[in-house]
Amino acid sequence: MDLHFFDRNTEYTVIERRLPHWVQAGVVCFVTWRTDDSIPALVLEKWRQERRQWLRLHAINPISQNWRQQLQLLDIEAQTEFYQHFSQRWHDELDEGHGACVLRQRLIAEIVSKSLLHFDQDRYELTDFIVMPNHVHLLAAFPVESAMLEQCKSWKHFTAHEINRKLDQRGRFWQQDGFDHLVRSEEQFLYFRRYIARNGIKAALSPTESLHYSKLK
């Protein structure tokens, strides 16, 4: 596979939603989506409180509408500390197994895996994914900048409908916004591949409680 990584000197777009989404055509992206009940309100508020404290310590007003832009003005070490710490805390909480964790059931997890693989090498190039009990991680490259968010919306819409039908339930299944990160280098790509492959072990799951796929050996 001819893999491409993020290049600041090549055209890219930042789409501002509840979370900022950086997109660049053809670049491998690490994507996470989670079930609607995967982070309890008290856990989420504690995470946000710690983030607000960190920003204040770095002279950034956390309630300012442009706090993300202010964060980008900090030195690269501070920015790296922020993203690594709060991203890792977020993923650690997902691995705690909050919520109903219906994706632990193999038949339900396979709804997601089949959806991810359905348009592989047509609408996107998928390299790795894991379906965890309450979230999904994947690595994929999308041909145009608009494709990543559109495809994630399609995956979540289809799988939510199928899972709710299978479980005879209604209501929102996935959280609206996912987490995505453009891969910066081959080293980072290999790090994310290892993270995906080992996520079930990290969360102390049995082999049947997660569903891992990798195209690359």
Examine the pLDDT at 170 and tell me if it is beyond 80: yes
- Residue 174 bridge partners (DSSP): 35
Phi, psi (deg, nearest 5) at residue 175: -65, 145
Domain covering 1-38+104-217 in this structure, CATH number: 3.30.70.1290
- With 90 as the cut, is the pLDDT of residue 44 above it? no
Predicted confidence at residue 119, as pLDDT, reads 96
Average pLDDT in the chain:
90
Query: What percent of the chain clears pLDDT 90, i.e. is strictly above it?
Result: 61
5-19, 48-62, 134-148, 182-196: which has the minimum mean pLDDT? Answer: 5-19
- pLDDT tens digits along 6-19: 887 888 777 665 56
How far is it, in rounded angstroms, from Cα 14 to Cα 24? Answer: 9
Q: Cβ atoms within 10 A of the Cβ of 40, count?
A: 13
Residue 69, pLDDT score: 80
Global pTM reads 0.85
Residue 20 has pLDDT above 70, yes or no: no
The ranges assigned to domains in the chain are 1-38+104-217, 40-96
Q: Tell me the three-class secondary structure of 108-150, residue by residue.
A: HHHHHHHHHHHCECCCEEEEEEEECCCEEEEEEECCCCCHHHH
Report pLDDT digits (tens) over 59-95.
Answer: 999 988 888 788 878 887 888 788 778 878 888 889 9
Residue 216 banded pLDDT, cuts 50, 70, 90: confident
Does the pLDDT of residue 1 top 70, yes or no? no
